[in-house]
Amino acid sequence: MSATGPGQGVPGACEQCLRRSWLLGELSASLDYRCNDRDRLIALLTLGDEELIQAVAGRRKGEMKARYALFDPQQLRWAGDVEAVCRHDRRFPRSLAGPGSPPMLNVAGGLERLAGLTAAPVVAIVGSRRATDYGIEMAKCLARGLAACGVTVTSGVTDGIAVAAHAGALEASGRTVSVISGGLDVARPAGRRSLCERLSRSGCAVAELPSGCPTRRWAQAASERTVAGLAGLTVVVEADEGPGELACAKMARALGRQVAAVPGRVTSPSSRGTHALLMGGAHLIRGPQDALELLYGMDAPRPSPQRQSRPELEPGLKATLEQVGAGRDTPEKLTRAGADAWEVLVSLSELELMGLLARGDGGRYVPRDPLARGGSSTG
Amino acid sequence: MLARAHTFTIEGLQTRHVRVELDIRPGLPGFAIVGLADAAVREARERVRAAILNSGYEFPARRITANLAPGDVPKAGPGLDLALACAVLAASGQLPRERLESHALFGELALDGEVRACQGTLAVAQATQEAGLGTLVLAGACAREAKLVDGIDVAVAERLASAVRVLGGGRGDPLPERRPQEASPNGSTGRGLAGSAPDLGDVRGQHHAVRALVIAAAGGHNSLLSGPPGTGKTMLAQRLGSILPPLSRPEAIEVTRIQSITGGLAGELATRRPFRAPHHSITTAGLVGGARRGWVGEVVLAHHGVLFLDELSEFARPTLEALRQPLEDGLVAIVRARHSAIYPARFMLIAATNPCPCGWAGAADRCRCSETDLARYRRRMSGPLLDRIDLLTHLELDAMHDLKLAPLATSKAARERVTDARERQAARLRDDSVTVNAHMDTRTLKRHVTLEDKGEEMLRKARERGMLSARGQHRVLRVARTVADLNGSARVRARDVGAALALRPEAALAGSRVA
C-alpha cells in the first residue's frame, strides 16, 4: 500500500480504495442514468471496479479501462483538510464494514475524531425534504435530546428533516457526522454555509466521492446507504410514501439495523410514510427518551437533565401549551377556543421565551418538545 | 402703458409668486409672453384675447409684451390667464391700475369670458396671505377651498366682467351653492373606497388580525398582513382608514393642499385620511416622485394617511428600497439633474403578502414550495423594508370558514378606542416633535417607556434566545407602549410587552426555518 493523502497524520486509505473513489467520480454522469431504480443502483455499487466499468461506462469502456490501469493516486486533488480513510484502516467506522457500504470515505474534521464519533452510539435522523414545522421541531428535539446524552447524530445536509437534525444537535452542543453526497469541497449548499461551518467545529463531514466532484442524483441516493450504514438506529421523522423518502429506512432494514418512526397526524400526507413504517413494525418514537431506550435498553440515560428540574408551569401556560400541542396553534384558534385574546398573546410569548414553543410558518406555533409523558415508559 | 398684476404658479407642492408686467406700446399688433412660460401659458394669448373680446371689452391692436417675473422660474398651468387678461385691460385703460397691485388673481379663462377653477387653489390662497396681498380673485368653484385660509378676502369672479367689477371696487359674485358631495373627493385610489366607506363590522372572524389592526392604527405602526389568498388581507387593509382618527385641522390643511394641487379640485377641507393603494407595477418615480419637475409620488399623496402595498412581494425591489427614507424621516428628498425638492411624506405603511409563492405555507398538506422556493421568496421582501415594519399579522384560512361569526368591532367603536389611545400619546408626547408612538426615536422611547422588572426580564430572555435584534427591541417597546395606551394603562406592564412580542415581525418571514 502506498501512502497517499493530504500529507497530514497517518494516511488512512489504500491505493485500491482511492482508485475506487476516483472511478466513481469519473463514472458519476453515467451512473446518474441508473438512479431511477434505486435497488439496481445499489446493486451496481456493490460490483467490483472492472465490472462496474463494464456495466456503466458504455462507449467509454475502453478508455476508462485504460485510465483505470494508469491511475496514480498522486493525481487526486485534495481540498483543505480532507483526508481519506478506507475499510482497511482501523479508523474506518466499523459499522460500514458490511457489504454494500462504501469502501472508503473522504473525511473533513479528522480521522481520529471520526473514529471517536462512530465509537459512540450513532442515530440517523432522516426524513422528507419538504417537512412541516412539526417535523422540523421533532427532528430538532430528538437530535437535541440524543446529542445531550452523548449520542452521535448523523444525517445528510439536505433540506427539511436532515438539516433540522444537525441544527438540533448543535443546540445541545452535540456532535454530528454529516454525510455529503458530492465532493466535500463543492457539494455543501451555499445556503447552509453557516450551518456547515458550525458543524465542522466539533463534528465531521464524510463523502464517498472525491473532492471536486459535483453532487448528482445517484450520489444523493448512494449517500443514504452511508447514513443508514453509519447508524445503529435510523429514525424517520416525517416522510411521504414515495420510494425516495423511505429509502434510508429500507436500507437500514436491509442492513439489519433498527428502524423507528415518529408518528404524525393521519390526515397529513407528510406522515404517510412514517405511519406505513410503523404499520410494518418500526419502533414508535415519541421523544428522545424512546430512542435512548432503543439504544441502551431500560437503563437509558435521561435526556437533558436540566429539563427535568424545570419548575412546574403555571396552570394558564400549561393549558396554552397543551392546546398548541393539540393543534390550536395560532392566536386566532386559541382565542376562539375560549381564551382571552391578550392572555393568549402573552402566554404564547412567555412559552416562546421559555423555549417551549417555536414559531412556524404562517403564524403557527409549534411545541419544541413532546409533552412530558406519564406512565410506565418514563420509569 | 404699463400694468402690474399678481398671480401664482405651482411647482411640485410649492407656490411661486409671479408678477405679471404688461406693456402696451405702438407697433405691429401682437402679444408676446416672456419669462419661461410653458405651453399652457403661451396658449393663454388666444384665450385672453377671445375672453376679452367676448366679454365686451376692447383688445388693443398694438404691440403687447407680458413679462412674467421672476424670469428664472418656469411658469406652468392655465391659472395665469386671469391675471394676464386683467393686466391687458389695465394697461389699456379699461380698468383702474392701482387696485390691481393689491389683488391676487388666479383662474383659467374660457373663450366666452368665464373664469374656471384651477388646481392648487388652497396653496395659492396660502401664498396670497404670505405675500401680503389682501384679496384673492378666483372662480366660484374653488372659492370655498380658498376661504379655508384666514387673513385674506376671497372675491368670487365667475366671469371676466365680474373680476373687472371687483377690481373697480365693486362686489364679487355670490358664492355658488354647495354642490352635492361627489364621491371620494379625497384623492383615494384603488378599490372599494368610492361611495360608502367600508366598515370594520364587515369583517367576520379574523379577530386576531382585527386586534392587530387596531393596535397598528392606534400607534401609527407600519404593519404587514401575511396569509393565504382569500383570507381578507386586502379587506382588512381597506378598513384601516375607517378606524383612524379624523385629521386635525393643520393636518387637514396640509392634506387638502396636496390634494388640491395634485388631484384637481378638493372643494372642501379633507376630512378622511388619504388611502393610497398603488398597483404593484408602480415604478420608483411613481412611488416617491421625481419623474419630472414637480411630479409628486404616492408617498406624498399618502401624507398623513395610509399607503397600502398589496402583494408586497410583487413590487420591484428598488421601488421598495426607495421607501426607506420616507419611512424613516417622514419626508422625501428628490434630487434630479435639473431640479430638487423636499416633500412631506409621513404615512402609515400597510402591506399585504402571501407567506410563500403558492400562498399556503404552514398548511402542511397544501403548500408545495420547497425550502429553496421559500428562501428565495422571503429574500425578495426581507431586509431594510421589513426592518421598518412594527407589526406582523398572520391571517389564517380556517378562521374564515365561519362567515356567520360575529365581527369583533365596528369601525365606530374601534375608532373611539384608537382616538382615545392617540390622545393619550399626544398628551405624553406634547414636548416632542412626534404625535404617535411609532415615530418615537430612541431617546424619546427611553424617556417614555419604563418597564417593570418582569418586562425587562422578558426582553432580556428574548435577546438571549436571539429572537430580537437591537432595532427589534425598540420596535417591541413602541408596540408595547401602544398596547398599554389602548388598555388605558400609564405604565407599560409585562403583559403589554408579551403581546408586543407575539406580534413582532422578527424571524417569521426572514431567513430559513432551520439554520
- Nearest CA-CA distance, residue B440 and chain A, Å: 24
The residues, any chain, with a CB within 8 Å of residue B59's CB and separated by 6 or more, are B49, B52, B53, B88
Q: Please give the grid coordinates belonging to residue B280.
A: 404593484
Q: Which CATH number fits domain A310-367: 1.10.10.10, 1.10.4160.10, 3.40.50.10260, 3.30.70.660?
A: 1.10.10.10
Top residue of A342, A348, A366, A368 to mutate, by most chain B CBs within 10 Å, is A342
- Among A269, A345, A353, the residue with its CB nearest the CB of B499 is A345
Record: contact B365-A270, CB cut-off 8 A: yes
Q: How confident is the model at residue B511 (pLDDT cuts 50, 70, 90)?
A: very low
- Does the pLDDT of residue B38 top 90, yes or no? no
CATH architecture label of B2-167: 2-Layer Sandwich (3.30)
pLDDT at position A10 is 56
ipTM of the complex: 0.80
Which residues of chain B have a CB within 8 Å of the CB of A359?
507-508
Give the pLDDT of chain A (379 residues) as one tens digit per residue: 344 444 444 577 788 888 888 899 888 888 888 777 888 888 888 888 888 998 888 888 888 899 888 888 777 777 778 888 988 888 899 899 887 888 889 999 889 999 999 999 999 999 998 888 889 899 999 999 999 999 999 999 888 899 999 999 998 999 999 999 888 877 566 677 788 888 888 899 999 888 888 888 888 888 999 999 999 999 999 999 888 889 899 999 999 999 999 999 898 888 999 999 999 999 999 999 999 999 988 777 766 544 544 567 888 888 898 888 888 888 888 888 877 888 899 999 999 898 888 888 778 888 888 765 543 333 3
The residues spanned by each domain of chain A are 78-296, 310-367
Chains A and B form CB pairs within 8 A to the count of 122
- Among A268, A336, A346, the residue with its CB nearest the CB of B498 is A346
Give me the CATH code for the B200-502 domain, please.
Answer: 3.40.50.300
Record: contact A361-B356, CB cut-off 8 A: yes
Q: How much is the mean pLDDT over chain B? A: 85
CB proximity A269 to B under 8 Å: yes
pLDDT tens-digit map of B272-302: 889 999 999 999 999 998 877 778 899 999 9
Q: Which amino acid is at A331?
A: P
CA distance B19 to B103: 11
pLDDT tens-digit map of B342-396: 899 999 999 998 888 887 776 656 777 777 787 788 777 767 788 788 998 888 8
User: Which chain A residue has its CA at the smallest distance from B505's CA?
Assistant: A363
- Does the pLDDT of residue B50 top 90, yes or no? yes
- pTM score: 0.81
pLDDT tens-digit map of B432-449: 888 889 988 888 988 888
pLDDT tens-digit map of B457-480: 999 988 888 788 888 888 899 999
The residues spanned by each domain of chain B are 2-167, 200-502
pLDDT at position B399 is 53
CA distance B218 to B206: 18
CB proximity B501 to A under 8 Å: yes
pLDDT at position B510 is 41
Which residue is listed with cell 446507504? A225
Instruction: Provide the residue count of chain B.
Output: 515
**CA neighbours within 13 Å on the CB side: how many for B361?**
28
Contact B199, B243 (CB under 8 A): no
Contact B29, B80 (CB under 8 A): no
Percent of chain B with pLDDT over 90: 41
Give me the CATH code for the A78-296 domain, please.
Answer: 3.40.50.450
Record: contact B362-A195, CB cut-off 8 A: no
- Nearest CA-CA distance, residue A364 and chain B, Å: 7
Q: What is the DSSP string of B156-194?
A: E-SBHHHHHHHHTT---BPPPPPPPPPS--S---STT-S
- Give the residue with greater pLDDT, B483 vs B386: B483
Record: contact A359-B507, CB cut-off 8 A: yes
Record: contact B515-A332, CB cut-off 8 A: no
The per-residue b/e assignment along B312-336, b for 16 or more CB within 10 angstroms, e otherwise, is bbebeeebbebbeebbeebebebee
Between positions 118 and 137 of A, the ones with CB within 8 A of B are: 129-130, 132-134, 136
CA distance B475 to A235: 41
Record: contact A363-B362, CB cut-off 8 A: yes
DSSP state of B361: T
In order of A171, A371, B513, the CA distances from A167 in angstroms are 6, 21, 10
Q: How confident is the model at residue B265 (pLDDT cuts 50, 70, 90)?
A: low
Give SS3 for B82: helix
